[in-house]
Amino acid sequence: MSPSTSIPFSHSSYILIPGTKMDALAQMHFTTIDYVIFALLLASSMGIGLYYALSGGRQRTTQEFLLADRSMSCLPVSLSLIATFQSAVAIVGIPAEIYTHGTQYWFIGCAYILGLFIPAHVFIPVFYRLHLTSAYQYLELRFSKPVRICGTVTFIFQTVIYMAVCMYTPALALNAVTGFNLWGAVLATGLVCTLYTTLGGLKAVIWTDVFQTIVMFAGQLAVIVVGVQQTGGVAEVWRKVSEGNLISGIDLNPDPTVEYTFWTLGVGGVFLMLSLYGVNQAQVQRYLSAKTERDAVMSCYMVFPSLQLALALSCVMGLVMFARYCGEDHFHSLGVISKNEMVLYFVMDMLQGLPGLSGLFISCLFSAALSTISSAFNSLATVTMEDLIKPHCPSMTEARATLLSKGLACSYGLLCLAMAYLTHLMSDSVLQAAFKIFGMVGGPLLGIFSLGLFFPWANSTGALVGLGSGLAMAFWVGIGSIVTSTSGGLAAVSQFNCTAVQLSGNVTTAVGTALISTAMPTATPTRPMGLQRFYSLSFMWYSALNSLTVVITGLGVSFLTGPMKAEEVTPGTLYPLLGNMLFFVPDKLKQKLCCVTPLGHGPTIQECPPAQHERNGQAVYTEGSVEEEERQSFLLTSHTPVVERETAL
């Protein structure tokens, strides 16, 4: 059956019954212990920031502030990698998605396999060996300066709007649970995060991520354990969710407008993962901060189990929520609550009379949010410094550059605060909003990097026109879908055995009925036609559609304007994908087709001795030093043969 999301249904149809028990319950149960736990989270994060401000190199160089001295080992890097895109949005969004659409969403876990394997073996080796600081340096090495600047600006745009969503979501939660002023909470998160990011640099960002990831898992686990207990045990939860038909098998429906099918999640999801874990500056910066290439690759592998755990916790929370509210007794019915708020009402209802647990859950939400926001601030400071400022001020002193980077981290913090206000105006599910941002802006960025890495013929003009058309496609479909609101997901009513909103006498005492609908959905979902159908494309396909648009347009324009010859391409910026894929084609034919020959043994995991001093992102070596000799011999053995083979064509 088709999901209930195409039913026109707007937020204006919710009414808040004044003086329900909801507010009273909520405020009553956020006790002193809860406040203490929450304060501890903020204080520890600040403490870690202060520690890294005062220890080590005391954040006096951009190498330390932006790249943690390239000294990190794989464990903290991997925990930090998962923290970056696991925000409060996922914690409140995924359970609501499971509650309304069933467990189909869980199949996104399949996309994690290729979505992490490809970054580990394609993107990391290329970026790490080029010894970059910003991922966009790659675009200049491969194409030209204008391409780099367009890439940087696109990334800044993506990150600032994503940040706004991330800041708003936990503040909304705190407001619902404690009545704490919404904008006060946004301001507090923004300021705490800006402060520790500015003080402690990437080291503080990574180590707070480690701590915050643990708090995040603990909070989710606590809610699940209490929830299962209160619903009557694991067997009872299982009985209710299976009777409610919540457990979905693989849905192989090829219709691209269905939000969640195996294809949208398992295939579309791979493109989403690649745009996040392959080319997003926040992640690339972490790979580059690893002390060796092997550590970077390992950390990417280690993301897999933690990400599966995070997904499982969120999905199970959705199941428990369903078992509690959608059993045969609709006593606790959630009614029609906005998707963004469901989890909070559930948690509030669940944790009554258990002091400390509400505090732990709110800390869990804020941990998730802070770890995402801090990564974003640091990566925004990095790209602005490396891509937009340094190239114009080559003579800037290190001290000045570091001070400026800190100023940048701080001002982006304030900008995102202002942007959070815009999220306030958005009524969509925050999870879908985040996925749309990733797909609409991250998709074209994945496209431009893929164009450069895999296609030696692509030239700078092709890259620019490609990026432009990818973004145009993204906004055409994205805005089209908002205007025709076909994939809105506004009605939070579960499609499973739970659509009735109970309004009988005793139910008004139940927590869930604080928000009830004044209008029941009336229209039956119709199959969209023509352009409407195009606009109703599942947002899970956005990354794939937009990145492929960039690659196809980019290649077309490159061939029209004079394709690049392999020998003109900067060594080390190509990945011989076509050569590897056409392994069965005889070498002679491949030469005719002008594609790079396979490496034979593939890119080796081998370390290039790091540069000793750096300026403007370019390694500066002391002539004749041991390090320089080592590095030269590395470059000779691992890069040059590839290049020679390419140029021999």
Among 9, 12, 34, which residue's Cα sits nearest to residue 347? 34
User: Cβ of residue 542: shortest distance to ligand PAU, in angstroms?
Assistant: 13
Smaller CB separation from ligand PAU, 93 or 579: 93
340 and 172 in contact (C-beta within 8 Å)? yes
Taking the C-alpha atoms of residue 642 and residue 644, their distance in angstroms, rounded to an integer, is 5
Q: How far is the CB of 129 from Na ion (least distance, A)?
A: 29
Write down the residue that tokens 């209710």 correspond to.
240
457 φ, ψ (degrees, to nearest 5) = -75, -20
Query: Total residues contacting ligand PAU (rule CB under 6 A)?
Result: 12
56-115 residues near Na ion, rule: CB under 5 A: 83, 86-87
Annotate 48-61 with three-state secondary structure. HHHHHHHCCCCCCC
CB 440 within 8 A of CB 542: yes
DSSP codes of every residue in 391-436: GG-TT--HHHHHHHHHHHHHHHHHHHHHHHHHHTT--S-HHHHHHH
Distance of alpha carbon 492 from its chain centroid, rounded? 23
Q: Does 416 bind ligand PAU (CB under 6 A)?
A: no
Q: Select 171 or 582, whichever has its Cβ closest to Na ion.
A: 171
The residue (of 292 and 371) whose beta carbon lies closer to Na ion is 371
In the bound state with ligand PAU, the residue whose beta carbon lies nearer, of 535 and 539, is 539
Whichever of 89 and 177 has its CB closer to ligand PAU, that residue is 89
Instruction: Enumerate residues 290-349 that contact ligand PAU by CB under 6 A.
Output: 307
Chain residue whose CB lies nearest ligand PAU: 90
Query: In the bound complex, what is the minimum distance in angstroms from residue 396's beta carbon to Na ion?
Result: 32
3-class SS of residue 377: helix
| Nearest one of 507, 450, 497, 643 to 565, comparing CA atoms | 643
SS3 call for 517: strand
Q: Between residue 114 and residue 173, which ones bind ligand PAU under the rule CB under 6 A?
A: 166
| Partner whose footprint covers residue 434, from Na ion, ligand PAU, none (CB < 5 to 8 Å by kind) | ligand PAU
For ligand PAU, the binding residues in 540-599 under the rule CB under 6 A are none
Binding characters for Na ion, 360-379, by CB under 5 A (x = yes): --------x--xx-------
Task: Give the nearest distance from C-beta 221 to Na ion in angstroms.
Answer: 17
Show the tokens assigned to 34.
């809860």
Residues from 176 through 195 that contact ligand PAU (CB under 6 A): none
> Can you tell me whether residue 176 is helix, strand or coil?
helix
Q: Decide: is 434 part of the binding site for ligand PAU (CB under 6 A).
A: yes
Binding mask 82-121 for ligand PAU (x = CB under 6 A): ---xxx-xx-----------------x-------------
Spatial distance between the Cα atoms of 167 and 187, rounded to a whole number of angstroms: 9
Query: Which of Na ion, ligand PAU, none lies near 371, with the C-beta cut-off 5 to 8 A by kind?
Result: Na ion
CA nearest to 42, candidates 222, 174, 160 = 174
Please tell me what DSSP assigns to residue 610: P
Backbone CA torsion sign across 434, 440, 442, 443: positive
Q: Least CB distance from residue 311 to ligand PAU, whole Å? A: 7
User: Contact at 8 Å (CB) between 531 and 352?
Assistant: no
Q: How far is CA 537 from CA 435, 464, 548, in A?
A: 13, 26, 15
320 binds, options ligand PAU, Na ion, none, Cβ within 5 to 8 A by partner type: none
Q: Which does 89 bind (CB under 5 to 8 A by kind): Na ion, ligand PAU, none?
A: ligand PAU
Q: Mask 605-634, x = binds ligand PAU (CB under 6 A)?
A: ------------------------------
Q: Kindly list the residues in this chain that would bind ligand PAU in the complex (CB under 6 A).
A: 85-87, 89-90, 108, 166, 276, 307, 372, 431, 434
Q: Kindly list the residues in this chain that would bind Na ion in the complex (CB under 5 A).
A: 83, 86-87, 368, 371-372
